[in-house]
Amino acid sequence: MSVSDPVRGRARLAALTRRGRALLGTEIALMGGAMTWVSERNLVAAISDAGAFGVLACGSMDPDRLGLEIEATRALTERPFGVNLILMHPELEALIARCVELGVSHVVFAGGVPSREHVTLAKRGGARVIAFAPSAAIGRRLVRAGVDGLVIEGAEAGGHIGPVSTSVLAQEILPVIDDVPVFVAGGIGHGEAIAAYLAMGGSGCQLGTRFVCAEESIAHPRFKEAFIRGQARDAQPSVQVDPEFKVIPVRALANRATERFRDAQVETIRRYRAGELAHHEAALAIEHFWAGALRRAVVDGDVDEGSLMAGQSVGMIKAVEPTEAIVDTLIAETVAALGRTEGAA
């Protein structure tokens, strides 16, 4: 039968995460996923204080607002944390400049592939740069551009997603990229999965959904309750009705707004076909359907008409818990998995 040796498990965990911990400057090679409206100062500081690595979600903040949030997070923790910047932000260079000005230790680029120039700008102030790699080819390109670490995130994740699963990305990328530490993300909610991806060559993992129901998370109680009730199958990608009108897939818990989005697409496209709307007007109407929907859910608690962005690991959330307890549980599960040996029956 299988037995777990905790001493062996802890030793393996330390060895497998050495590069990840060195890059992050933390005791634990777990990154908190940057979730807009959720990954703000309180949760980020709590994750870092628990020995892991909190990541502040800039989202649509302007440079001044981001600066205030960075300073507010520093007032809550002395531990390292990162700042996530979305590449499509219209003030991206100003946001990078603000991070440099404030001496941010880690910049995480998301929502695309950063240019060499953006990587260089971020590193000018001494920051370490982490970026998302959707394929091995892009991962290599990012390494050449000077990034210090990569995240590979599969379609099981919450929010905006790509088309490839975490397990496939891990098989494609982990064996061929070892120039920098690689963190695995997407659908991870248990230490058993963390152990598996570390054994495959990952230097750490990133989890977002698992921290939504942390006590320190400012998410509305109704938002948290929806996560506690949710199952993996409830976290579904948004549906595109017509290939002529592209919908960027977003994984979220299905609710009344999800159904209305399908109906809204059908009606908008009908009006376009009938000549009532120009193509750009129809596309804009579809794109703007979800405007403000995430805030309505997270902050206001409107779980019917808001957007409940969640990864498929949502089914593993059973209660509201302190962040430290979540991290401790994940690490204990990982140690048990890594320390497992085959013993005599």
Q: pLDDT digits over 132-189, tens only?
A: 999 999 999 999 999 999 999 999 999 999 999 999 999 999 999 999 999 999 999 9
CA–chain centroid gap for 233, Å, is 19
3-state secondary structure of 219: coil
What value does the mean pLDDT take over residues 304-315?
97
Q: Which two tokens stand for residue 53?
A: 């690595």
Confidence of residue 1 (pLDDT cuts 50, 70, 90): low
Confidence of residue 88 (pLDDT cuts 50, 70, 90): very high
pLDDT, tens digit (0-9, with 9 covering 90-100), for 263-299: 999 999 999 999 999 999 999 999 889 889 999 999 9
Instruction: Report how far apart, in Å, the C-alpha atoms of 237 and of each of 48, 161, 282, 285, 312 are.
Output: 30, 8, 21, 19, 10
CB neighbour list of residue 270: distance below 8 Å, 6 or more residues apart: none
CB neighbour list of residue 293: distance below 8 Å, 6 or more residues apart: 257, 305, 306, 307
Confidence of residue 342 (pLDDT cuts 50, 70, 90): low
Question: Strands, DSSP E only, in the chain?
Answer: 2-4, 30-32, 54-57, 81-86, 106-110, 128-132, 149-153, 159-160, 182-185, 204-207, 235-237, 250-253, 340-342
- CA–CA gap between residue 16 and residue 328 (Å, rounded): 18
Confidence of residue 47 (pLDDT cuts 50, 70, 90): very high
- CA–CA gap between residue 181 and residue 85 (Å, rounded): 20
Residue with tokens 């007007």: 281
- So what's the pLDDT on residue 344? 38
Going from N- to C-terminal start, the domains of the chain cover: 2-218+316-342, 231-309
pTM tops 0.75, yes or no = yes
Answer whether residue 248 shows pLDDT above 90. Answer: no
What value does the mean pLDDT take over residues 30-35?
97
Q: Which of 118-149 are b and which e, b meaning 16 or more Cβ less than 10 Å from the residue's Cβ? A: bbebbbebebbbbbbbbebeebbebbebebbb
- CA–CA gap between residue 201 and residue 192 (Å, rounded): 15
Answer whether residue 205 shows pLDDT above 70. Answer: yes
What value does the mean pLDDT take over residues 99-105?
97
Long-range contact pairs involving 117-126 (C-beta distance under 8 Å, separation at least 24): 118/87, 118/92, 118/93, 119/145, 119/146, 119/147, 120/146, 121/93, 121/96, 121/97, 122/96, 124/100, 125/99, 125/100, 125/101
Least confident of 42-46, 107-111, 136-140, 261-265: 261-265
Q: Starting from the edge strand earliest in sequence, which strands make up the sheet with 235-237, in order?
A: 159-160, 250-253, 235-237
From the list 258, 266, 265, the residue with the least C-alpha distance to 293 is 258
Residue with tokens 């091995």: 136
Least confident of 63-77, 145-159, 240-254: 240-254
User: Structurally, what CATH architecture does the domain formed by 2-218+316-342 represent?
Assistant: Alpha-Beta Barrel (3.20)
For 165, phi then psi, to 5°, come to: -70, 160
- Do residues 30 and 327 touch, judged by C-beta distance below 8 A? yes
- Do residues 300 and 219 touch, judged by C-beta distance below 8 A? no
